[in-house]
Structure 1
Amino acid sequence: MNLFKRSFLYVIRKKRKSITLFVCLWLVASTLISGIAVKNAGLTAKKTFSRQTGSILHISSDSTDLVGDGYGSGEIPEKAIVNIASNPNVKRVNNNLMAYAGLTSEKMVTRPNDKEQYKEQVLQVHGNSYSDTDPKYTAGMISLKEGRHITPKDQRVIIVHQAFAKTNHLKVGDKLMFSKDPVRNSKDKTLVEATIVGIYKGKTVQKSNYPYEMLENTAFSDTQLIKDLYGYSKGKAFYRQTTVYPKKKADIKALKSFIKKQSIDWNKYQLTITATLLTSYAKSIDVLNQLITSLQGGMLVVSIILVMMALLFWIGGRTHETGILLAIGKSKAIIIVSTQ
C-alpha cells in the first residue's frame, strides 16, 4: 500500500481530526485573503479619492459667524469671484447661492398630515454654476432622473423634484413663471421665467417644519436665475460660498495667497483646501492597513502553532502504524512523508 493511499484512508478514518485541521486551515486562509482584500480596497479608495478631488479650495462661512441674512444669502462679492476665475491657476469656479422663488400658478408639494393652508407658495432654489457639484448630489441623497445637469452656459434654467413635477403635471422643457424672492425682494412684482432642464429624485432625510423646507419643494438652478430672484444688478451679486478647482499643475500656494488678497470679509469667511481632508482620509486608511497587517501577522503565527500542534497529535496517533512500517523494513524517510 503506497503512502498516498495510507494517508487517504487515515484521513477518512479519523474524520474529527481531519475536519478540525481543515477548518483551521480554512479560517487562516479566509482571514489572510480578507485582510489582503480590505487593504487593496483601502489603497484603491485612497487613489480614487486623490484623483477625483485633488486640491480643491473652498471659500465658505465660518460656522461661528452669521453671513448675509442667515437664510441662504451671502457676502462674497461677484467682483472677487471674477478675479479668482481669471487667475491662470484656476480651471473652473462653482458659485453657490440660495433664494426663494414665488410660485404663480404651480402648487407646493404638501404632506398628508398638513392641515394648515399656506398662503405663500414658494420653492427653495439652490443656484450653482455646476449643479452636479451640489452636496446633495455628491453625497448620493438625490440623483437626476430625467434631463441634464446645469452648466455655467445656462441662464434661467431649473431642475425640479419628481414629486413637484407630478403634482403640477410638469415635464422637461416646460417653463415656469416665478415672482421675486418674497424674503428679500417682495416689492418687485416683475416675474422671472425659467425653463425645466431636468427632474431629480430623492427623499427628505430629516423631518421638515414647513413645506418649503421639504426636498420635494427644493429646486436647483443656475446662478443667473438666483440673481434675478434677488434683484441683483449685473456684477453686483453676493454669493454664499464658492469652490475653486485649480488646474492640474497649479501653484496651490500662490493661488491661495491670491484668493486671500480678494475683497472678502475673512473675519466671516474661511479658505479651506481639500488636500488637508485627503491627508486625514489617507492617514485613516494607513492606520487601518497597519492594524490589518498586525492582525494578519498574529493570525499567521497562531495558525502555524495550531497546525504544528495538530500535526504532532496526528503523528502521535499513528505511533502503532509507524512501528509496523519499521518492522516490515520501510525507511524512515518514507514513514515521515506518509505521516504528514
Structure 2
Amino acid sequence: MKNHPASDLKYDTVINHIIRGIRLGIYPDQSKIPSEKMLAEQINVSVTSVREGLKQLCAKNIIIKQQGRRSIVNASALCNGNRTMHIGWIGRSDFEQMNPVYFETYSRTLSHLLKTNCHLSFLPFRMERDEINILRMFDSFDGFLLAGIRMQHVSSELAARLRALHNVIEIDDIGVTPANYMICTNGYLGGVMMGEYLAEQKRKCPVLFLSDYADFYPAFNMRNRGIIDGLSARRIPFVLAPGNTRQSTPQEFTAQVAELLKKYPEIDTIWHPHDAAAIKIRKVFEMQSPREPGFYRSCGVDGLPETVENEPFHASIAHPFDELARLCVETMLNFFSGHYPDRNVRKISPILIPWR
C-alpha cells in the first residue's frame, strides 16, 4: 500500500476552512479565493493539499475556477446542503431574567428559525466565566445575535473575534457594539410619532421626563430627541423634567411632582421613554392633584402587552417584534448564502398604540 505524506491527506482541512470562511462572510459570494500559496500558509498545509481541496470544491460548484485568474466563491451552492446552522444569542442575563423586550424578540426569532435549518442557542453573558464559555464554544457557531452587548461589556479578545465575523447582528440601539450589523427599532421616529399624536389629541402641556438611563443608553436619548422635535414642529409647549426616579426616594419624587404642578398647573400629559416609568409617574400626578378620570394621560415606549393592556390612559410606541425577528432571520440566512446588506444599520418603523 502506497504511503502518502501526511500533509497531502489534509485537503479536508482545506475544504472545511474555505466553507466555514464562506459561511462566516470571510469569503463573500463572488469574491476571489486567496492564492494556493497564501491558503497553504494560513491553514498550515502543503500547496498540494490546497490544490486537492480546491479541486474538490470546484467539483461541488462551491468555487468556480477561472482560467488564468483566481477562483471565485459561489456561495449559493452551500444553500442546498442539509447542514444545521448554529446561531448563538448572547444576552446580559439568565434566560429567566431576560429583559421583556429581548425575550419577545428572542421568542419571535426562535419561531421564525423553526421553519429553517437553523438552531438558536441562548448564551448568558453576566460574568467573566460566561465569556470564557462563549470563547470556548465560539467556533461551533455560524453566527451570533447580540441583545444589548456594548463594546465595553466584552474583553478585547471576544470583541476582536466578533468583529472579525460578518455574521453578527445587534438587535438594540445601544451605541458602540462589537457587531458588524445592527437591526433595531427607530427610536427617534417613535418619539416624533408620539409628539405628532399628542398634537392631534390637543394635549396642552406635556411634561417630558428625561430618563436617568439616557446617559448610557442611546435609544432613550433618541426617543427623547424625537418627541422634542415632534412637539416643536407642531408648536406644542412642553416642560422638561429630570427622570432620576432611581436615585430619588418616593417622598423626594412626590415633592418634585408637587413643585412641577405648582409651577405648571396646566400639565396634562406625562412622557417617559419607558412605558412602566411613565405610568408610574402619571399615578403620582393623579394622587397629587386629583382631576376627572382621563385628564392626565401618559405615554412611553415598548408596547409590551403586560404593561399597557390595562392602561386605557396610556399611549405607547411599540417595537415591531415580528418584523424585527423576521429581518434578523432573513439577514442571517443571507449571510450564510454570502450576501451582505449595503447598510450596517437598519432601523425599523415602530407602531403607535393610542389611548383607548
TM-score normalised to the size of structure 2?
A: 0.25
TM-score normalised to the size of structure 1?
A: 0.26
Bigger relative CO (Cα 8 Å, ≥ 6 apart): 1
* Bigger Rg over Cα: 1
